[in-house]
Amino acid sequence: MNRRAIVAANWKMNGDTKLVSSMVESLSGYVPPAHTSVVICPSYPYLALMSDKISQQGLNENIALGAQNANEHLSGAFTGEVSTNMLTEMSVKYVIVGHSERRSIYQESSEKVAEKVKVILDAGLTPILCIGESEQERIEEKTEVVLTQQLQPVVDAIGVERFKDVVVAYEPVWAIGTGKTASPEMAQATHAFIRGYFANLNEEVANKVPLLYGGSVNASNCDELFAQADIDGGLIGGASLKVDEFKVICSAAKGS
């Protein structure tokens, strides 16, 4: 199999300088499980501080920095936006893209998400591409159609080969921040569908692409979720703001 596991913290619009310090201090001396990457995605204003602290503590080998968004343009008159060049200067390695909150609150279409994935890859950064169905879509058994509709524009924009450098996070919208987690069996079945989608296009890519589960992952459910064959780690929201709990979740990851 040979896939890295990834546990990524999505702080959303939470956290402050105190949390940056306590998270990095707590992770100092922490060694993630073999073949596992730990990624922390604070808000933009904390990227430089976190990058400095990671370097000061000599943690560059064990912790990577991520951003929660990037603009699809390289520079220009886009007030309030942040480019991939700026993120690279801040030592960012990963960028979350297509999170359900961006899709629903900021009307980011799958085509816009595809443009962003391309720009992120072109900058040498790793996109964490989020996809997932709403509760209504799950009830109406449209999950597979919705996931395909979210993935296809990205495949069309970058080609399936480039998915070797993409991380996909399956995040059922009804499980994000709700305390309702997909059962390990349901999550595995959906991850197997996503891997199958890639296998139909390119077997090698399907075997390589890390598929993360996200949606109310915590210290109590991470072991069972991460034990599933097609779940290669998690994208963690609320629980990633709790320093000790986040470490427990990271330790449950199983890369190979």
Q: Which residues bind ligand PEP (CB under 6 A)?
A: 10, 171, 176-177, 214-217, 235-239
CB nearer ligand PEP, residue 11 or residue 46: 11
Please say if 191 is a catalytic residue: no
CB nearer ligand PEP, residue 92 or residue 131: 131
CB nearer ligand PEP, residue 137 or residue 160: 137
Strand partners, 130: 169
Minimal distance, residue 102 CB to ligand PEP, in Å: 10
Site of tokens 């990227």: 47
CB nearer ligand PEP, residue 205 or residue 234: 234
Active-site annotation holder among 108, 133, 171, 245: 171
> From CA 170, how far away is CA 181, in angstroms rounded?
12
CB nearer ligand PEP, residue 47 or residue 239: 239
Active-site annotation holder among 99, 108, 133, 137: 99
Minimal distance, residue 40 CB to ligand PEP, in Å: 13
Minimal distance, residue 52 CB to ligand PEP, in Å: 25
- Give the contacts of 29 (CB within 8 A, at least 6 positions apart): none
Distance spanning both ends of the chain, measured CA to CA: 7
Distances (CA, A) of 154 to 70, 117, 196, 212, 245: 16, 7, 16, 17, 33
Minimal distance, residue 132 CB to ligand PEP, in Å: 9
Distances (CA, A) of 211 to 3, 56, 89, 128: 10, 31, 27, 9
Minimal distance, residue 209 CB to ligand PEP, in Å: 18
Q: How many C-beta atoms surround the C-beta of residue 256 within 10 A?
A: 11
Please say if 245 is a catalytic residue: no
CB-nearest residue to ligand PEP: 237
Query: Among the residues of the chain, which ranges form H helices?
Result: 17-27, 47-56, 84-89, 100-105, 110-122, 135-139, 143-158, 184-201, 203-208, 222-226, 243-251
Query: In degrees rounded to 5, what are phi and psi of residue 33?
Result: -55, 160
Catalytic sites, residue numbers: 99, 171
